[in-house]
Amino acid sequence: METGLLGIGAGIAVGLAAIGTGLAQARIGSAGIGVMAEKPEMIGRVILMVAIPETLVILGFAVASMIIFILGA
Amino acid sequence: MLEPMVKTEIVGLRSTLDSTMACLQRCASVQLLDASSELGLKPAPQAVDEGELGESARLRHLRTRLDALISLGVVPEIPDDRFPVEARLDQVAAELDQLAPAVEPLVTRIDDLEAERSTLPRHVESLRRLAPLVPRLPELEAYETVAILVERRHAAVIGWVRDELAALLDTHFEVISDQVDSDTVGAVLVFPRDRSRRVHALLAERQVSRVHLPDEYRNMSLTSAITSMEQRIADLPVEIEATRAELWELLSFRTHWHAARDNVDRRLAQLDALHNIGTTERAFAAIGWVPQRHLDELADALRSDVVGEVLLTTREAAPDEPVPILLTNPGPARPFELFVGMLALPRYGTFDPTVLMAIVMPFFFGLMLGDIAYGLILFGLTTWVRRRWGSRSAVVADLSRVLSIGAVWAVIWGVVFGEVLGDLGHRLIGLEPLWIDRQEAIGPLLLLAVGIGAAHIFLGLGLGMWNALRTSDRHLLGERAALLVALSALFAMAGVAAERLPRGVMTPSVVAVVVALAVLIALEWPLGLVMGPLDLIGAISNVLSYLRIAAIGLASVFLARVANELGAAAPLALGIVIAALFHSLNLVLGTFSPTIQALRLHYVEFFDKFYEPGGEPFAPFGASLAAEPEVAAPAPVLIETD
C-alpha cells in the first residue's frame, strides 16, 4: 500500500510538472514559429525559449526520483 | 576561436580606383567601412561623375532582362572554359535589343498556352458535371444556355431563379436542375437569346455565379464544348513544344549570357561598394576590416593587380568600435560553429565556445542515446547522408558530421551501459555493462548526470571569471567567484550528508555559503537582497537541469525494452517487424531529443555563465559573388541602347 502511494506521489510530481511545461511550451512554441516565419535566423533563440520551461518537468522528475529512492528506500 | 581582425586603410590615386576595387573584390577579404564619413571625404559616386550612377541603373536594367530570358530555361549554362568570359556587356545589350521583337511574342504565346492548359481541364470538369442534366438538349440557334453550380446547402437559390425567370420571361424558358455530386447542385437555364442581357443582369444583380467559359466555346452546346475542349487539351502540349522549339532556336546558343550576368553582378557590386569609398579630387581612400592572416596576401594582390601607387596601412580602432566576427576553428570543431551562430555570434575579444561545444555536446548526446546498435546505425545513416547531399548543402554536411561524432559517443556509452537495442544484447548474447546498468542502477545514473552538470557549470563559471579578468570587470568577477564558492560548498555539504566526506568539512562549507551569499547580496545592494539568493537558487537549478541527461537516456532504454518485449510476444516474423518499427521510432526520437537537449544545456545553463553575444558576422566585399572567371573580363563598357 505504502509503495503504491509513493508511486502515485511520484507520478503526480512528474505529471503536473509535465502539464505545466506543456502549457508553457505550447504558447512559446506557437509564438516562436511566428518569429521563425519572419526571421529564420532566430531559430537558436526560439529553441532556447522553447526549451526553458523544460526545467519544470526535470525538477518534477528530480522530486519523483527523490520520492522513490529516498522515501521508498 | 575568433580570428584576429586588423583595421586597414587603402589609399591610392583616383586613376587606380577601378583596378583596386576589382582586386579587393577578387580577394574577398575586406569588409569595407564608410571611409567618406570616417575621414570626412566625399563619397565616390557623387565625386566621380553622373555617368557612374547612370551605369548602375543601366546595369540593373540589363540584369533584369538577362534574368528574364535565362529563367525561360532555354539558355544552357556551359562551363567558362568553352565560352570564356569575353562578352562585352554592350554587345549583350545590343543582342537583347535585336532579339526582343522576336522573343517577346513567343514568350507571351507560351504563357497564354500554359494558362489555357491549366484552366481548360477545370472547365471540362464543370461541364461534365452538368452534362447529365441535358442529355438531349438540341442546339437551338435562337436560345442561349447558362449553367449554374451551387453548393448543396444553397440549393434553394435555383428555385428562386426559376421564379424570377418566370416573372421576367413568362413561359419562354427552361430550368433543368439536379444534384451533380454529393456537395453540389447544378442547373442549366435555357432562354431566348434576345432576352440574354436582361437575364444576365438579373443573375448579376442577385449575385448568382455562372459557369464562365472562354469566348470561343460560349456559343457551343454543352456536349460540343466538352468535345472541343478535350481536343484542345490534347493539342496544347504539341503547340507549346513547337513554340518552345522556336524560342530554343533563337536563344540556345547564347550561352555567354550566363557569364555576362556574372559580369554585371561583379560590376554592380563594385558600384555599390563605391558608396563606402572616400575621394578627393585626385585620390581615394578605403577603410575596412581584414583578417590578420590575410593581410599579407591582400598587400601582395594589390601590388600585382594595381598599376600605380596604392598604399596599404593599418589603423588603430576605437576602443568601443564593433569588430566583425570570423570564427576559425580546427576542422573537427568547425561544424559546431553552426550551433554557436544559431544563438548569436560572440562579441569580439570574448571567448568563442565552439571547441568546448565540439567536445561536450557529442559527449552528452552519446550519454543520452547510449546504445551500440543505435550508434552504429546512426553513424552509417549520417555518413551516407553526408556523401549523398553534403556537397549541396553546408548545413546538411555540418549537421551530419555533428551527428556522426555523437553516434561514436553513443557506441562508447553503449559499451559502458552494455546495451545493444536496449536489453536485446543481454537477452541474446548475455552482454553485461562495463560500469552502470541504466535499467537497474537509476540512482548512480542520476548522480552521474548531476556530477557532469556540476563540472560543466563550474567550467562555465571559471570561463566567466576569466572573461571578467580580461575585461577588468570586478563586479562580474565577484559574482561568478561567489557562485563558484557557494556551489562548491553546497556540494561539500551534500557529500557530508551522504557520509562521503568527513564531518569536519561541514562548518567551513556553511561559512563559505554564508560568505558567498553575502557577497552576492552586497554586489547588487539593495536589489541583491532578492537577486543574490535567486542567483544561487538559479545556479543550483542549472546543475539539477542536467538530470535530463539521465531522464532522456532512461526513456530511450525503456522504449527499446518495450520494443523487445512486444517483438518477443508475437510470432517470430511478425515480432521482428514490430520490434524493428519500435526501434526505428526510438532511434528517431533518440536522435532528435538528445540533440535538442544537449543544445539547450549549452545555450541556457552553460553559456549563461560566460557567453557575451553581440558579434556581427564578417561580410567581406566580393564574398557573395561567384568565383572569378578564368579569363579576366575587361573593364565592362555599356553603351546607351535605349
CA distance B341 to B327: 9
pLDDT of B81 strictly over 70:
no
- Reported as a single tens digit per residue, the pLDDT across B238-275 is 999 999 888 888 877 777 788 888 888 888 888 888 88
* Of the partner residues B341, B344, B600, the one whose CB lies closest to the CB of residue A51: B600
- CB contacts under 8 A, B 311-370 vs A, are 339, 341-344
pLDDT of B631 strictly over 70:
no
pLDDT band at A1 (very low <50, low <70, confident <90, very high): low
- B315 with B241, same domain: the answer is yes
Shortest alpha-carbon distance between residue A1 and chain B (Å): 23
pLDDT band at B634 (very low <50, low <70, confident <90, very high): very low
Helix axes of A43-51 and B572-600: crossing angle, nearest 10 degrees: 100
- B476 with B586, same domain: the answer is yes
Grid coordinates representing B7 are 583595421
Q: Which domain holds residue B292?
A: 1-118+237-326+617-642
- Report whether B86 contacts B631 (CB < 8 A): yes
Q: Which of B188, B220, B252 is the last residue of a domain?
A: B220
- B413 with B558, same domain: the answer is yes
Provide mean pLDDT across the span B371-390: 95
Q: Is A19 on the interface with B (CB under 8 A)?
A: no
pLDDT of B195 strictly over 80:
yes
- B591 with B638, same domain: the answer is no
Strand, coil or helix: B311 = strand
Sequence-distant (≥ 6) Cβ neighbours of residue B506 within 8 angstroms: B492, B493, B496
> Cβ–Cβ of B547/A58 closer than 8 Å?
yes
- B542 with B442, same domain: the answer is yes
- Which pLDDT does position A50 carry in this prediction? 87
Provide mean pLDDT across the span A14-41: 93
Q: Is B544 on the interface with A (CB under 8 A)?
A: yes
Grid coordinates representing B1 are 576561436
Least confident of A1-15, B51-65, B151-165: B51-65
* Of the partner residues A44, A45, A58, the one whose CB lies closest to the CB of residue B551: A58
Count interface pairs A-B at CB distance under 8 A: 48
* Of the partner residues B442, B541, B604, the one whose CB lies closest to the CB of residue A48: B604
Q: Is B604 on the interface with A (CB under 8 A)?
A: yes
Shortest alpha-carbon distance between residue A55 and chain B (Å): 6
Residue A3's Cβ-count burial label (10 Å; 0-12, 13-18, 19+) is: exposed
Q: Which domains does chain A have, with CATH numbers?
A: 2-71 (1.20.20.10)
- Reported as a single tens digit per residue, the pLDDT across B107-137 is 889 889 998 888 888 888 877 777 776 655 5
pLDDT over 70, % of chain B: 92
Query: Is residue B31 one of the residues assigned to a domain?
Result: yes
**Residue, of B369 and B15, whose pLDDT is higher:** B369
DSSP-derived pairing of the beta strands B283-291 and B278-279: antiparallel
- CB contacts under 8 A, A 31-50 vs B, are 43-45, 47-48
pLDDT of B138 strictly over 70:
no
Q: Is B558 on the interface with A (CB under 8 A)?
A: no
Query: Is residue B606 one of the residues assigned to a domain?
Result: yes
Query: Is residue B130 one of the residues assigned to a domain?
Result: no
B chain contacts of residue A55, beta-carbon cutoff 8 Å: 541, 545
- Report whether B342 contacts A43 (CB < 8 A): yes
Shortest alpha-carbon distance between residue B556 and chain A (Å): 15
Query: Is residue B506 one of the residues assigned to a domain?
Result: yes
pLDDT of B510 strictly over 80:
yes
Q: Is A66 on the interface with B (CB under 8 A)?
A: no
- B577 with B621, same domain: the answer is no
- Which pLDDT does position B5 carry in this prediction? 94
pLDDT band at B168 (very low <50, low <70, confident <90, very high): confident
CA distance B35 to B42: 9
- B611 with B622, same domain: the answer is no
Least confident of B83-87, B191-195, B547-551: B83-87
- Reported as a single tens digit per residue, the pLDDT across B436-491 is 888 888 889 999 999 999 999 999 999 999 989 988 889 999 999 999 999 999 99
pLDDT of B571 strictly over 60:
yes
Query: Is residue B227 one of the residues assigned to a domain?
Result: no
Bridge partner list, B311? B11
Shortest alpha-carbon distance between residue B604 and chain A (Å): 7
Tell me how many degrees the CA angle B496-B500-B506 measures, rounded to the nearest 5: 20
- B374 with B394, same domain: the answer is yes
- Which pLDDT does position B633 carry in this prediction? 38
In B354-500 the beta strands, taken as DSSP E runs, fall at: none
pLDDT band at B10 (very low <50, low <70, confident <90, very high): very high
Instruction: Please state, rounded to an integer, the average pLDDT across all residues of chain B.
Output: 85
Q: Is B551 on the interface with A (CB under 8 A)?
A: yes
Q: How many domains does chain B have?
A: 3
- B259 with B112, same domain: the answer is yes
- Which pLDDT does position B122 carry in this prediction? 80
Best mutation target among B445, B446, B546 (most A Cβ atoms within 10 Å) is B446
* Ordered DSSP codes for B83-131: S-S---HHHHHHHHHHHHHHHHHHHHHHHHHHHHHHHHHHHHHHHHHHG
Q: Is B442 on the interface with A (CB under 8 A)?
A: yes
B chain contacts of residue A44, beta-carbon cutoff 8 Å: 339, 341-344, 603
- Which pLDDT does position B53 carry in this prediction? 61
| Rounded alpha-carbon distances, angstroms, from residue B554 to A38, A66, B320, B407, B429 | 37, 16, 49, 17, 22
Best mutation target among A55, A57, A66, A70 (most B Cβ atoms within 10 Å) is A55
- Which pLDDT does position B630 carry in this prediction? 38
pLDDT of B345 strictly over 60:
yes
- Which pLDDT does position B573 carry in this prediction? 92
Query: Is residue B375 one of the residues assigned to a domain?
Result: yes
Sequence-distant (≥ 6) Cβ neighbours of residue B633 within 8 angstroms: B85, B86, B263, B266
- Report whether B191 contacts B143 (CB < 8 A): yes
- Which pLDDT does position B306 carry in this prediction? 85
Strand, coil or helix: B191 = strand
> Which CATH number goes with the domain that contains B177?
3.30.70.2750
> Cβ–Cβ of B541/A55 closer than 8 Å?
yes
pLDDT of B632 strictly over 50:
no
Query: Is residue B124 one of the residues assigned to a domain?
Result: no
- B510 with B397, same domain: the answer is yes
- Which pLDDT does position B267 carry in this prediction? 83
pLDDT band at B142 (very low <50, low <70, confident <90, very high): confident
- B392 with B294, same domain: the answer is no
- Which pLDDT does position B45 carry in this prediction? 59
CA distance B108 to B102: 11
pLDDT over 70, % of chain A: 97
Shortest alpha-carbon distance between residue B565 and chain A (Å): 23
- B253 with B313, same domain: the answer is yes
Query: Is residue B308 one of the residues assigned to a domain?
Result: yes
DSSP-derived secondary structure letter, B608: G
